């Protein structure tokens, strides 16, 4: 029936003819399937019968309890557009409602089990209390030519393939192709009929029809999958190992396809080539003949076939053994030996040297069953277990093939448990481990067969070891030093592999040592205003360390060193901060105090004040004037220098504070500005200038008041003249030499120059010359303060002032012994400004 010619070549040739002969290209020669499911219609329909089955042996078959099944009328999955197909939902009994689906959407719910449809798609039905049926895919094709086939084909079924053209189309020839190879020319017939379908009929079919003009039309492909009606039967015997002469029931088991549950099968039973019996039932009762030996040499088999014998299948041959009681089994433990390790895989093997199968072996530890295993044929059975500590004990096995169990000899097994990972515990006498403490290291493995050797480690260096002969843990004591900070671990070993604990960190706290205080100043001397850094550091001690700084036991401040080292504290110096300094270090284990460090804060000398003290009311040639210079503040020793018009007169040092004095014998050249300087090594300070006017010597320092103003003026004029004469006659020296200069001998003095001495009456008058400038430079006053008991007051004239002096009347005075002034004598000094000074700086 197989023809010649390739499907593609035929189509191309026909397409060429059709293009030449027909004027209207309205015919589709190669048409793709509208739905992919149409190509596999036969296979899809085969699946619609798959269902959930509850199997029960009934006459060698199994009655299915299935979900609903859909049948088609007409029985084609492909038909032309415009035509209709009736679907029927089959169930075991009538139901109140039937729900129909198209795809996943509910199409309708009706009381009838039939539905007429004209749309392509996958249809399903559902009834109350059951799952949905398998889907049925329908294709309503617009093609000119279709190939129709039944939805499912089983072995032995008659198979009809229909090549149908669209109404109005007249085909001259029809050709059927299988797997793209020409199968048969149908001529004017439209169908191919196969009486008994077989697996050889599987394949992909399509047909081509040609018109008179040679135009060809191709159908979509239809795949035919011939399904198995029932599988090859299996012969079973009960009992499976009968005794000689014992009745046996032979059962021939197979299963019809759910769609063919109405087919009846005929069963036959055979021993070797002789038929034992037959019937519609799939079972036969027979007996095994008496034989000599271990098994029956006969072979049994069965056959199942349809009534028409179109499908028939035979089982495999079965040989029934003769039953022999088992002998006493032997138990073998693997690995061998009386000692096994936890975690090992122990294999228990039990074997009876004689006995008909089937033999059931059971395994025991003590009287506790561990499990069982069967040996369907001759041989042994095994049972495996992963060992734990509880598996130590006595083992045995039994063998039984129905004639009574036989017990093996016992085997003893000791399961050694490897030491588990130990736990290291540190026990210290306080919450913090301190140098000198005794710490107990405790190592213990929760599991492990004794004896266990425990080793103790510090940073992978072994400290010591200890045995635990009967289980439990072990300890190790250690006296702590500063070097013992670090990580500790322990190890447990019972010969089955050492186990290391997790590391435990220990921080050994070291008390702080006595700190050292260092004072860091920016120069050799500590000066007011300098910032001194106090640095305190303990050479040993665990951080964090808190440092406190003290001045004469008064806390200045504190600072912390979180990671060790020292700490600093900055202090801006004042004069009051001279004294002893110390610091304290504390890390919670007791504070430690440093030694004291003295610090002297040097105060720069302040601007000094210059005071001039003369013996009388006026500074006159020959007077001895005391120049006193004093700085109100400043660390001693202070060196004072005295100046006259920026020419140094002399210097003196005050080693313990206070001021110093300098005596000067006045000459006419000593008029002018005086100042002094204080210097204690931190910068010299200059005083304000003090102006001194030296007046020439007259015959008397005072006259009677009764002489009047004229006498006073004459006296002043006389004094001026005398001063000029003395000035001209006094020897001159650069810088001005003091009259009391020891370098001058008495012979150097002019014999005509009068010599003045401070008499007691004059010594009572101690005028103090200070610069007073109340108007900030407009007027310069010289003020004379007279001590209590003085009778004279003197005033010096200003640089720009006119001196008017009112003097009381005095008697004549000699040059050697001036007379003492009267108690009623008063000197007034008045200064009138002639013109304001231009360049004179304000003075206080």
pLDDT at 794 over 80: no
Q: What is the pLDDT of residue 92?
A: 77
pLDDT at 19 over 50: no
**Alpha-carbon gap, residue 782 to 434, rounded angstroms:** 79
- Angstrom CA distances, 563 to 504, 542, 560, 590, stand at 22, 8, 9, 18
Q: Which pLDDT band holds residue 173 (cuts at 50, 70, 90)? A: confident
Q: What percent of the chain has pLDDT over 90?
A: 41
The residue among 776 and 194 whose pLDDT is bigger is 194
| Token pair listed for 245 | 């002469």
**Alpha-carbon gap, residue 448 to 474, rounded angstroms:** 14
**Alpha-carbon gap, residue 585 to 715, rounded angstroms:** 82
Query: What is the secondary structure of 1-28 as a DSSP string?
Result: -----BHHHHHHHHHHHHHHH-SS----
Given phi > 0 = left and psi -120 to 50 = alpha, else beta, which region is 179?
left
Q: Looking at the whole model, is its pTM more than 0.75? A: no
pLDDT, tens digit (0-9, with 9 covering 90-100), for 208-265: 998 877 788 899 999 999 999 999 999 998 888 777 677 888 999 999 987 788 889 9
Residue written as token pair 């199997």: 55
Q: What is the pLDDT of residue 337?
A: 60
**Alpha-carbon gap, residue 429 to 437, rounded angstroms:** 7
Which is nearest to 381 in space by CA: 353, 361, 355, 357?
361
Which is nearest to 421 in space by CA: 500, 503, 475?
500
| Token pair listed for 257 | 């396809």
| Token pair listed for 315 | 């089982």
pLDDT, tens digit (0-9, with 9 covering 90-100), for 700-757: 444 333 334 344 444 445 555 555 554 444 433 333 333 334 333 333 334 333 333 3
pLDDT, tens digit (0-9, with 9 covering 90-100), for 657-671: 789 999 999 998 999
φ and ψ at residue 717, rounded to 5 degrees: -65, -40
- Angstrom CA distances, 583 to 60, 589, 597, 839, stand at 108, 16, 9, 57
pLDDT at 829 over 70: no
pLDDT at 795 over 70: no
- Angstrom CA distances, 198 to 258, 346, 690, stand at 19, 54, 149
Strands 597-599 and 579-586: antiparallel
pLDDT, tens digit (0-9, with 9 covering 90-100), for 96-127: 889 999 999 999 999 989 999 999 999 999 98
Cβ atoms within 10 Å, residue 576: 9
Query: What is the secondary structure of 309-376 as a DSSP string?
Result: -SSEEEPPPB-PBPP------EEEEES-SSEEETT-EEEEEEE-SS-PSPEEEEEEETTEEEEEEEES
Query: What is the secondary structure of 34-53 as a DSSP string?
Result: S-HHHHTHHHHHHHTT----
pLDDT, tens digit (0-9, with 9 covering 90-100), for 350-385: 999 888 778 999 999 998 998 998 887 667 888 888
Q: What percent of the chain has pLDDT over 70?
A: 72
List, in sequence order, every residue forming a beta bridge with 768; answer none if it has no partner.
Answer: 613, 785
Q: What is the pLDDT of residue 10?
A: 62
Q: What is the pLDDT of residue 36?
A: 35
**Mean of pLDDT values over 424-429:** 92
Which is nearest to 805 in space by CA: 624, 616, 622, 674?
616
**Alpha-carbon gap, residue 501 to 154, rounded angstroms:** 71
> Does residue 451 have a cis bond before it (omega within 30 degrees)?
yes
Give the dihedral of Cα atoms 594, 600, 601, 602; nearest 10 deg. -160
**Going by C-beta distance under 8 Å and a sequence separation of 6 or more, which residues neighbour residue 309?**
none
pLDDT at 289 over 70: no
Run of H or E residues at 720: helix 708-729
**Mean of pLDDT values over 615-637:** 90
pLDDT, tens digit (0-9, with 9 covering 90-100), for 557-612: 999 988 878 999 999 999 899 999 999 999 988 899 999 999 999 999 999 999 99
pLDDT at 841 over 60: no
Report yes or no: 226 and 201 within 8 Å, Cβ to Cβ.
yes
pLDDT at 183 over 70: yes
Q: What b-and-e string marks burial along 85-120, b requiring 16 or more CB atoms within 10 Å of the CB? A: bebbbebeeebeebbbbbeeeebeeeeebebebeeb
Q: What is the pLDDT of residue 525?
A: 84
pLDDT, tens digit (0-9, with 9 covering 90-100), for 489-528: 999 999 888 999 999 999 898 999 999 999 999 988 899 9
**Alpha-carbon gap, residue 154 to 227, rounded angstroms:** 5
Which is nearest to 634 in space by CA: 609, 663, 611?
609
Q: What is the pLDDT of residue 336?
A: 64
pLDDT at 630 over 90: yes
Task: Extract the runs of DSSP E, i.e. beta strands, from 473-553.
Answer: 474-479, 486-493, 499-500, 504-506, 508-509, 516-520, 526-527, 531-537, 545-551
The residue among 273 and 28 whose pLDDT is bigger is 273
pLDDT, tens digit (0-9, with 9 covering 90-100), for 145-171: 999 998 888 998 898 999 998 888 888
**Alpha-carbon gap, residue 407 to 398, rounded angstroms:** 4
Cβ atoms within 10 Å, residue 352: 25
Q: What is the pLDDT of residue 769?
A: 42
CA quadruple 698, 702, 708, 713: dihedral sign = positive
The burial of 385, by beta-carbon neighbours within 10 Å (0-12 exposed, 13-18 middle, 19 or more buried), is given as middle
Report yes or no: 575 and 603 within 8 Å, Cβ to Cβ.
yes
Q: What is the pLDDT of residue 162?
A: 92
**Going by C-beta distance under 8 Å and a sequence separation of 6 or more, which residues neighbour residue 838?**
none
CA quadruple 35, 40, 42, 47: dihedral sign = negative
CA quadruple 187, 189, 191, 196: dihedral sign = negative
**Mean of pLDDT values over 537-554:** 93
| Token pair listed for 815 | 């040059």
**Alpha-carbon gap, residue 821 to 823, rounded angstroms:** 6
Q: Which pLDDT band holds residue 30 (cuts at 50, 70, 90)? A: very low
The residue among 137 and 751 whose pLDDT is bigger is 137
pLDDT, tens digit (0-9, with 9 covering 90-100), for 331-356: 998 876 667 888 888 889 999 988 87
Strands 247-253 and 283-287: antiparallel
List, in sequence order, every residue forming a beta bridge with 252; answer none if it has no partner.
Answer: 235
Computed over every residue of the chain, the mean pLDDT equals 77
């Amino acid at each position: 029936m197989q023809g010649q010619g390739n499907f593609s070549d035929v189509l191309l040739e026909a397409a060429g003819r059709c293009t030449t002969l027909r004027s209207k290209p309205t015919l589709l020669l190669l048409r793709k399937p509208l739905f992919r499911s149409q190509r596999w219609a036969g296979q899809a329909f085969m699946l619609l019968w798959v269902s959930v089955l509850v199997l029960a042996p009934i006459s060698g078959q199994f009655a299915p309890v299935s979900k609903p099944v859909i049948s088609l009328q007409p029985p084609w999955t492909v038909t032309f557009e415009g035509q209709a197909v009736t679907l029927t939902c089959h169930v075991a009994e009538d139901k109140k409602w039937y729900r129909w689906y198209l795809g996943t959407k509910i199409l309708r719910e009706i009381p009838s089990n039939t539905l007429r449809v004209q749309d392509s798609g996958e249809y399903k039905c559902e009834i109350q209390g059951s799952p949905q049926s398998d889907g049925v895919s329908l294709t309503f094709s617009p093609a000119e030519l279709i190939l129709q086939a039944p939805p499912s084909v089983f072995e032995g079924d008659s198979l009809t393939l229909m090549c149908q053209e669209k109404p109005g189309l007249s085909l001259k020839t029809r050709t059927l192709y299988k797997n793209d190879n020409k199968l048969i020319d149908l001529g004017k017939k439209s169908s191919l009929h196969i009486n008994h379908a077989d697996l050889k009929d599987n394949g992909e079919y399509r047909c081509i029809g040609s018109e008179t003009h040679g135009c060809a039309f191709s159908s979509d492909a239809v795949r035919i999958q011939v399904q198995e009606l029932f599988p090859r039967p299996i012969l079973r015997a009960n009992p499976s190992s009968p005794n000689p002469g014992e009745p046996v029931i032979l059962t021939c088991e197979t299963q019809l396809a759910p769609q063919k549950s109405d087919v009846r099968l005929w069963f036959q039973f055979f021993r070797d080539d002789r038929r034992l019996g037959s019937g519609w039932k799939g079972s036969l009762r027979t007996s095994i003949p008496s034989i000599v030996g271990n098994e029956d040499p006969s072979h049994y088999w069965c056959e199942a076939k349809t009534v028409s014998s179109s499908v028939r299948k035979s089982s495999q041959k079965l040989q029934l053994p003769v039953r022999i009681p088992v002998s006493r089994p032997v138990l073998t433990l693997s690995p061998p030996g009386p000692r096994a390790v936890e975690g090992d895989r122990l294999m228990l093997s039990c074997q009876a040297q004689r006995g008909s199968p089937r033999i059931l072996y059971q395994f025991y530890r003590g009287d506790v069953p561990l499990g069982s295993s069967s040996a369907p044929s001759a041989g042994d059975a095994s049972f495996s277990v992963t060992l734990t500590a509880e598996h130590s004990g006595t083992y045995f096995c039994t063998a039984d093939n129905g004639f009574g169990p036989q017990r093996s000899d016992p085997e003893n097994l000791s399961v050694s448990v490897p030491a588990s990972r130990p736990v290291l515990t540190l026990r210290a006498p306080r919450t913090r481990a301190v140098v000198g403490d005794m710490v107990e290291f405790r190592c213990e493995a929760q599991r492990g067969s004794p004896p266990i050797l425990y080793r103790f480690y510090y940073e992978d260096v072994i400290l010591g070891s200890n045995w635990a002969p009967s289980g439990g843990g072990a300890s190790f004591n250690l006296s702590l030093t500063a070097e013992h900070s670090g990580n500790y671990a322990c190890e447990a070993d019972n010969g089955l592999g050492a186990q290391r604990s997790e590391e435990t960190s220990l921080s050994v706290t070291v008390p702080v040592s006595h700190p050292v205080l260092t004072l860091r100043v920016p120069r050799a001397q500590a000066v007011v205003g300098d910032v001194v850094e106090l640095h305190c550091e303990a050479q040993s001690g665990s951080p964090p360390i808190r440092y406190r700084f003290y001045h004469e036991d008064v806390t200045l401040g504190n600072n912390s060193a979180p990671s060790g080292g020292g700490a600093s504290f900055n202090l801006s110096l004042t004069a009051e901060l001279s004294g002893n300094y110390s610091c304290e270090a504390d890390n919670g284990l007791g504070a430690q105090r440093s030694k004291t460090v003295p610090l002297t804060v040097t105060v720069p000398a302040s601007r000094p004040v210059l005071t001039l003290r003369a013996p009388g009311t006026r500074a006159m040639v020959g007077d001895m004037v005391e120049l006193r210079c004093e700085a109100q503040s400043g660390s001693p020793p202070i060196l004072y220098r005295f100046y006259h018009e920026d020419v140094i007169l002399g210097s003196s040092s005050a080693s313990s504070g206070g001021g110093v004095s300098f005596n000067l014998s006045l000459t006419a050249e000593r008029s002018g500005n005086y100042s002094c300087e204080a210097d204690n090594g931190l910068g010299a300070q200059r005083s304000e200038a003090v102006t001194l006017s030296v007046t020439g010597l007259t015959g008397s320092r005072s006259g009677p008041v009764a002489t009047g103003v004229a006498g006073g003026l004459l006296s002043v004029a006389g004094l001026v003249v005398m001063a000029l004469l003395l000035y001209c006659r006094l020897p001159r020296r650069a810088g001005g030499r003091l009259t009391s200069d020891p370098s001058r001998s008495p012979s150097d003095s002019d014999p005509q120059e009068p010599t003045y001495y401070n008499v007691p009456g004059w010594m009572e008058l101690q005028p103090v010359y200070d610069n007073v400038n109340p108007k900030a430079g407009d007027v310069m006053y010289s003020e004379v303060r007279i001590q209590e008991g003085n009778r004279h007051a003197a005033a010096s004239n200003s640089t720009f002032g006119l001196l008017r002096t009112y003097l009381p009347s005095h008697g004549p005075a000699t040059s050697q012994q001036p007379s003492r002034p009267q108690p009623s004598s008063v000197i007034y000094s008045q200064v009138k400004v002639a013109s304001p000074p231009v360049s004179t700086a304000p003075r206080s």
